[in-house]
Structure 1
Amino acid sequence: MDLYYEIHGSGKPILMIHSGGADSRDWSLITPLLQHRFQVITMDGRGIGSSPSPVEQPNYILDVLSLLDHLNLPQAAIVGHSMGGQIATEFAIHYPERVSELVLIAPALSGYPYSDEFQDYMKHVGEAAPDVELMIERSIGAPSYKVARSSPQRELMVDMLRRHFMRTFTWPAAAFAPIWPAPPAYERLEEIRARTLFIIGDQELPDNLLVAESFERVPDIRFIRMTGADHMVTLTHPEAVSQHISDFVED
């Protein structure tokens, strides 16, 4: 296993998959609250944090499978935030026997028809390269970061983004086209067998709120909409998020 990971606590295993633009510090305020009841596993995705850069097209779903195999875990609760939620969703569809519970926090969704406005926002960030500070400014300027950018965790969010952007400059071109299974998860949400918890803030981009509506097709799903929270709810509302995860996994 070449990916960087940490294990905290003991008990029922929970694997935490961080958001895009972040690293395992996405969970730095949540892990201490969960590790007293669970075995909490955090990881840096390929090309992020302390994990090695990809040398070819990355397959994030197989990376999750490899980590569970390496740890000899036949099953774990899988928690994913943003892009990490997209990975977790795909993993739950393709390896249902390995997922005891699924927790999605403002997830992205492969195959979802994102709006022109959303794609323009992403393009606007990318066009600022290689000016990392301008990329950060454009990223957190979105309404979905309004709460986090005025919070005490702003510097942590900015530092994760800075390190993420700087790492991507070292990636090979193939790394920007990760392997996602076909057909995409957007067309297969009804196949998710795991009990699922969906957490999202009410200060989100319209596309992310519409993605939440798509997940209503999951057979066994519970929704929690958090008032006064934005896309970085893991940093701004760690106590509430931790409690929701703990209650759900122990239910």
Structure 2
Amino acid sequence: MDLYYQVNGEGLPIVLLHSGGTDLRDWTFLAPLLTKQYKVVTFDVRGIGKSPSPNEKANYVEDLLLLIDHLELETATLVGHSIGGQIATEFALNYPEKVKNLILIAPSLSGFNYSQAFNEYINSINQVAPDLDQMLDISLSGSLYQVVMSSPRREIMIQMHRDYFSRILTWPNFEMIWPQPPAVERLDEISMNTLFIIGEKDFQDNHHVAEHFKKVPNLRFFEIANADHMVTLTHPEELFLKIDNFMKE
């Protein structure tokens, strides 16, 4: 197993999948709360943090399978944030026997038609590469980060973002492989109990993604007030309570 990971705590296993623009430090404030009651696995996805860069197309779903098998987990609860939620969703659809519960925090969604405004935002970041300062300024000025950038978590957000962009600029290959057909067409096939959490002030596309997830049969849905996309950093206690209550239902 070449991915960098950490395991802390004892109990039912929970695997945490971090957001884009971050690394396993996405869980700096939530993971310690969970480790009091659960066995918590955090890791850096391929090409990020302390994990090696992909030499060919990155397959995050198969990487997750390798990690779970390496840790000899028969089943685990997956907690995925942003693109981590997209990975968790795809994994749950393709390896349902491995997933005890599915917990999604403002996930992205394969096959979803993102808005022109969002695509222009992403393109504006890419256009100034490899100028890290400009990439950071444009990215962190996005509406999805307005709460965290006005909070005491501002510095960790800036540092993770800088480290993230520094790493992806070194990748020899920047393509990703996702299972087909895309998850947007298969959400009604998700069989396990699912918890969906989103910040009230997350960007509009993610709220549209949330509407798609309401097709999931066994779904609990919560919106957290005064939170943006980085609810993991700004509202960890509230997240913990939602997750813990869901796990104990």
2:108 aligned partner, one-letter code: A
Q: Per-residue displacement from partner, 1:2-36 (whole Å, max 9, x unpaired)?
A: 00000110000000000011000000101111101
Q: Find the counterpart in structure 2 of residue 220 from structure 1.
A: 218
Q: Per-residue displacement from partner, 1:131-183 (whole Å, max 9, x unpaired)?
A: 111111111111111100011111101111101101111101x3x21000111
Measure, in 2, the Cα distance between the counterparts of 1:136 and 1:219: 39
Q: Per-residue displacement from partner, 1:190-233 (whole Å, max 9, x unpaired)?
A: 11111000000110111110000000111110100001000000
1:204 aligned partner, one-letter code: D
Measure, in 2, the Cα distance between the counterparts of 1:201 and 1:169: 29
Mapped pair 1:144 → 2:144: yes
Mapped pair 1:131 → 2:131: yes
Q: Compute the displacement of 1:127 (Å).
A: 1.0
Measure, in 2, the Cα distance between the counterparts of 1:2 and 1:107: 25
Q: Find the counterpart in structure 1 of residue 3 from structure 2.
A: 3
Measure, in 1, the Cα distance between the counterparts of 2:181 and 2:90: 10
2:88 aligned partner, one-letter code: A
Mapped pair 1:245 → 2:240: no
Q: Find the counterpart in structure 2 of residue 187 from structure 1.
A: 185
Q: Compute the displacement of 1:250 (Å).
A: 2.0
| Unmatched runs of 5 consecutive residues or more in structure 1 | none
2:205 aligned partner, one-letter code: D
TM-score in terms of structure 2 length: 0.99
SS of 1:217 mapped into structure 2: coil
Measure, in 2, the Cα distance between the counterparts of 1:133 and 1:29: 26
Measure, in 1, the Cα distance between the counterparts of 2:59 and 2:35: 28
Q: Find the counterpart in structure 1 of residue 60 from structure 2.
A: 60
Mapped pair 1:40 → 2:40: yes
SS of 1:61 mapped into structure 2: helix
The list of structure 1 runs, each at least 4 consecutive aligned residues, that deviate by more than 6 angstroms after superposition, is none
SS of 1:149 mapped into structure 2: helix
SS of 1:55 mapped into structure 2: coil
Measure, in 2, the Cα distance between the counterparts of 1:13 and 1:66: 16
| Unmatched runs of 5 consecutive residues or more in structure 2 | none
SS of 1:247 mapped into structure 2: helix
Measure, in 2, the Cα distance between the counterparts of 1:30 and 1:206: 25
Structural mapping, 1:172-211, within 5 Å: 172=172, 174=173, 176-211=174-209
**How many correspondences in the alignment?**
249
Q: Percent identity?
A: 53
